[in-house]
Structure 1
Amino acid sequence: MKPLDEQQAAARSWFESLRDRICAAFEGIEREAGSDAGFAYTPWDRVDPSGEPGGGGVRGVMKGKVFEKVGVNVSTVGGTFEGEFAKSIHGAGDDPRFFATGISLVAHMANPHVPAVHMNTRFLCTTKRWFGGGADLNPPIPYDTDTADFHVTMQAACDAHDPAHYPRFKQWADDYFYIPHRQVHRGVGGIFYDHLSDDWARDFAFTRDVGEAFLRIYPALVRRRMGQAFDDADRARQLEWRGRYAEFNLVYDRGTLFGLKTGGNIDAILMSLPPLATWS
């Protein structure tokens, strides 16, 4: 992989620093629950189809008392898209070379009352450069207060940059995180954006604010619900809901496809899948 330029290095550094703070916050919650669980980090290297080094990343996974399974991955990869896949990527149709760096997080919780969550932000370079990502809440047992607080926090992050961002990116999330064959949404939404390339400094600042917003709101929601009593019916509802989550990620998720098509680490790509799920 070619040496990183200033923008690429800055984005990589930010995603890695956000990973560190998120993992520390999640480990802190485990300590509050009387657990000594911590993240196990596994580095991986990517080889480009050309045979040249293609970067790599670090897969972080924790299985604890509160977080039944949470994965926080960072990666920085580059090389050449193979075959027809290049035509599906913004700016890569005529030149298949690419660079990508980002953070990806999925948390599946032990208590069915605690919402699962997904967060991802990324910076990609082809013949164009852009940011993408977002965060969405995925509760097996939804609570209106949790949903409202999550959306208010995401809206504040958006409004600080452009009042048009939140309605646009909320709708984008609603449209994207939908399971057509079930005709249901994956969760209660959030925000999703892609191909943000108006101004690099402004777009990077917005992407950072999305990460900061996530770090503020999600640990608060976990603490709100993690001590709530649940029964076998709640657990059954959670496991069946997780089956829907797995279906979306295996059939429709573009991030899963991107990772598999670019020679990413299989364990890191599939870390989004729940540890247990049922199909009744």
Structure 2
Amino acid sequence: MRAIWKGAVAFGLVNVPVKVYSATEDHDISLHQVHNKDGGRIRYQRRCEVCGEIIEYKNIDKAYDDGERTVVLSAEDFASLPVEKSREIEVVEFVPSDQIDPIMLDRSYYLEPDSKSTKAYVLLRRTLEETDRTAIVQFSLRQKSRLAALRVRGDVLMLQTLLWDDEVREATFPSLDEKVRVSAKEKEMSAALVESFSSDFDPENFTDEYQEQLRVLIEAKLEKGEALDTDETFGETDEDDGGGKVLDLMEALRRSVEKNREKKGSAGAKAGTPSPGTKTNAKKGA
């Protein structure tokens, strides 16, 4: 990995020099646009509407227009902002970790110690772990002031940038004002459905099926061209078990529980051991 930023975490008079790395990456297949008639590549050009010339990115500045006046801002103008010059990740408060609403989380970054001595880094990490606190910090990155949560992941400190409060929309749906009666039997059946799906989360058990199927499609088209038969490549799509019928809520819950129990039982039989769901049901029936 390549560091994208260097600075220091500052809390009180303590400074922790760090390097910042992107913690995530995009695995999507890269595609470009073409003309569907002849396959010609579609390209976007930065053309000046005054002189008509195509402009290189290095010669492009940004501007603000209030409707009457325009002010042009160069890279030097942005770099002159005091907050942009700062190389400090300032801790403004330590909060209980469960107070951070996941909807506010944005991008994630790893922090590596950038000093011969890692004592201050390790001290901050252990303090966060033992107090179950998350540090709320502010810093500037890529011409933008950031609010972030500084927390621990394994042995590493990480930053997760946060959306500003006014960037999170409030959800107001009139349909939720309607009074709905949920019976005890429906809640019981819904809980049984949750139990039939219960498991411990392991991200390695999940894959991006769309990207996998896209790779299969690309390989098949490279091999067979326009003669490709997608039904032959992917097989026929399974029909909906409901057969297009509209089921009432209780019936849908009942069928879902039965279907998932059968699925888990089948998986356990193939593995040679009873499934977790089967064990749970056996205890309840005892």
TM-score w.r.t. the length of structure 2 is 0.19
TM-score w.r.t. the length of structure 1 is 0.19
Larger Rg: 2
Larger strand percent: 1
